[in-house]
Amino acid sequence: MSLDSLDFKGRVAIVTGAGGGLGRQHALALAARGAKVVVNDLGGARDGASGTGSVTAAQAVVQEILAAGGEAIANGASVTDFAAVQAMVAEAKAKWGRIDILVNNAGILRDKSFAKMEIADFALVVDVHLMGAVNCTKAVWAIMNEQKYGRIVMTTSSSGLYGNFGQSNYGAAKMALVGLMQTLSIEGAKNDIRVNCLAPTAATRMTEGLMSEEVLAALKPEAVVPAMLVMVAENAPTRTILCAGAGTFEAAHITLTQGVHIGLGKLAPENLALSLADVTARTNDQVPMSGSSQGQNEIQKMMAASAISN
């Protein structure tokens, strides 16, 4: 990647949930490198309560950007309100003429074990994280297609990629964002819309009380920001899941094993049970380019087995 691509002069970015924590750091970093930034924040608590559409938190971040010589505007739209999101996008487009970058960062927590969780708390978390990102992405998608340029980041989580006790709602929403990214990166490719996922480990309001003071001090939100900047740069990758925390960066992959052709027939379940270790073996696993790769692998294995038997 060229270092020149990490200069965002002339670019317009929208960062949701940017009134504090990681979103604030994203907004400040983009502005410091020349981007014009829409600082979106509903002004609610980490569980989504008390969100009144107040732009106080967002405006404070805007003031920081302006004081440093940057350009920014505040917006208090809820990402769950598609009409409000559309109005936010229209305002940015009218003011600055384009929208190049969308960082879907807004989120809430309603942690409880699945047994104790109310269905409303499950639905709300999915609505904010998944549908919030869908709403914002849909609102900018046509603009990015028309200008033949776009960079979108979905904020996923290790809780979605790998699971975490008490976060079935959060994990489900965060893994859903990976699926959204996978398809949008394919659909956006022809118009240079690159879509990626960021899985951060950072000390924010959403992690207070969950970690020791020593660990929280090491997990500064700004340590995650480099991954975001790389994923929205001109020479950004696409369809990539970057993990970041405490200055360490990893990549997560959803892979497909080579598999084993079992065949059909009455004993297929028993044969599969006996071969399960071979089916799940990670040797020579692949990162499929699209969902069709699974079917292609299955058909190839079937045809190979058929050729042997004949």
Give me the active site residues, please: 170
CA of 151: how far to CAs of 1, 30, 39, 92, 220, in Å?
15, 13, 17, 16, 24
Rounded CA-CA distance 59/302 in Å is 60
Residue 297's identity, in one-letter code, is N
Rounded CA-CA distance 30/8 in Å is 7
CB 15 within 8 A of CB 58: no
Residue 256's identity, in one-letter code, is L
Look-up: residue for tokens 């990670």?
Answer: 282
CB 166 within 8 A of CB 113: yes
- Measured in whole angstroms, the distance separating CA 194 from the mean position of its chain's CA atoms is 12
CB 26 within 8 A of CB 15: yes
Rounded CA-CA distance 64/75 in Å is 15
Considering only CA atoms, which of 58, 63, 56, 71 is closest in space to residue 13? 71
The continuous run of DSSP H or E covering 144 comes out as: helix 132-147
End-to-end Cα separation, the chain, in angstroms:
50
Look-up: residue for tokens 């069709």?
Answer: 292
Tokens coding 105: 């960062």
For residue 262, the SS3 value is coil
Q: Are strands 36-40 and 12-15 parallel, antiparallel or unpaired?
A: parallel
CB 45 within 8 A of CB 69: no
For residue 263, the SS3 value is coil
